[in-house]
Structure 1
């Protein structure tokens, strides 16, 4: 039999050289909502009411509802991205038995079914252009559309995002801590093949309490109980140990080589979704981030990234295009005025540098504790002038300048103003603290110090804090 004449292809782009042929009139669209406008279960905002306040649960650093970060008013506060259980909003409580994943159903979801039905209606309205033609013998003839040419599953360049993810994912783990305060989840990475795991302190700090249990879920679906080898709130780093050998560790790269604009990939378990990969760039370096409580505050000289980082990414790796770890994802920024202590990604994530993580992890493995460099001064948090001022009065038992400490030996006195460290201006106490914490005890720094109207450069050899 002969096939009916085919109308012009409605999907072909119009030519700007000649007028497009006239098209047959299409039937008027039926009144009422469009079949494409079926409500999506993911369209509703997950951050609560119109105020924009995030709808996450308790703060991992303090009482429920309190902001975990103490940030100066001149920049948006940062908050840890660890995820505590208990969403008051539409997402379920984070637990591996009932993770915060989209519900999986057999067959097609309503949204997809509506979309496919609408596609079928379009095919019918265009005279069967997309429908196959039947030959006399009942066989289906080719509609004439070009076939897709595949390159094969997994055939990706090693330096592509897919190639890097395939290499790194098997060495990224999910961590769950169950304690008296509830369940918290986070991420981590394999540090050594003999079972050492690197993560954030705020992910596992509740695991140090009596009766708490910590477990590590590997990419292959297996799970192992873990013990805490050591942790430090000062750097927000912790090391776990599982009784398993033959693991594939990730390479800790040199974070000093990182430049603004470098592509990076964040991998972890945001909102309990294991094996999630997000991409972005390094958007800033040496970003001062302070986290924790008044008693235990972490000062991080952070790598800032616009890769999507959400609660649960804590402790997971930030890797470069070579698959080397350049940072440990630790915190996200909270918009000014947000009322909740947790929130989602707004394109401002912060990671501990890999060089800092390496030094701290080595100390934790060797001694179970970590130290940090100090100069021996008390800073005036109320000072608002240029630079950072050494306190003029003693606070409790702490003098403004520690006798025979590094600053005292260098000639720094109470009331002096520090305006720069190693040529980099400082305007807030946290900036000076994180710049010093990024060094190693025994390193020499150069401080620009103002006494009255006179300025001078002072060389200071960093001392070491007493182990706790």
Structure 2
């Protein structure tokens, strides 16, 4: 598991677009004009020109020149917020060393830890079962309401097991959990713990943090149990560069890893400002709508690692809806994916166009009803007379006429639709191309019996 924080198959987000350092240099040099620029040329003397008489008064810079300089600086700052699609490379082996909280933040952690919980997904019969997944969460009320990241308790991620969840407190008490509501788009879920008394809880922050705010996350990664990971806020309103991650998140320097997902991010006042959602080994690929670049706030961004948390405030509409039992699910086609097909880059010829390969098809789901075929094998006779096998698979090459060369291209298009929308897939099968029409289903329903 690379950057997945509680799910077994969340792949690494290790893109490498133009480095953050390069972006900062561009921002820092925005007001310095190169000698070859028109504005600089207008102000630099021409060595071959006649020298004006000494008595001629020097002309003051025109208002137009100052306006041009201001516009050039503004364009340079805004351009630093626009990033090209990333090229994915591996840039880090793991998260940075864990930083311990100090001062008021350490005191806030000690108080908050009693309200934090370890969340385990368990399978098997009997009272305890065996754990198949670990995440984090926290009590948000004294009657046992728990908040966490939705992907920690997403039942569709656990195939072949009737999973149930439990919360384990700092005192190692174990409480069964029942799902109350969730928002799959924003990676937030509420659960109810079967508690027999009032429990310690964390209040939600009254307002969002500002960049530079010291915070501590509480999690269960690296075989720790409800341990502290200190850091600070660097950016707000971050837009993910992949369709399977939440947008509008808080960027953090805290050293997070698998097992920390869903854990609270706490400020020095002991308030929860967010829940851990995902990590990235290429923070420069993430964009934000903030106008002021981080360097103007005195902040430096890591080029190799950052964590991201779903923001929480006491007046948040998303929190209120999830706690009230709303279930905002994702639209899906109804197939599982493992790899993309790239023509000419492997031993199998699945056609001339690239796209995600249909690995498995959910029984009775939209893909199954429409006639998508799961990946399989067929016998072939080789030139020497021996018998071998060849791969047969459907490749989805477009949705509603828009090419889908990768799974994440397809996922972004599907995610922009609504459950119940009718879409047209262009499918490549045995070097033939045809179209299938299907109605998008709700993820939890489609994969409930798969």
Bin the TM-score by the shorter chain: 0.3 to 0.5
TM-score (norm 2): 0.45
TM-score (norm 1): 0.43
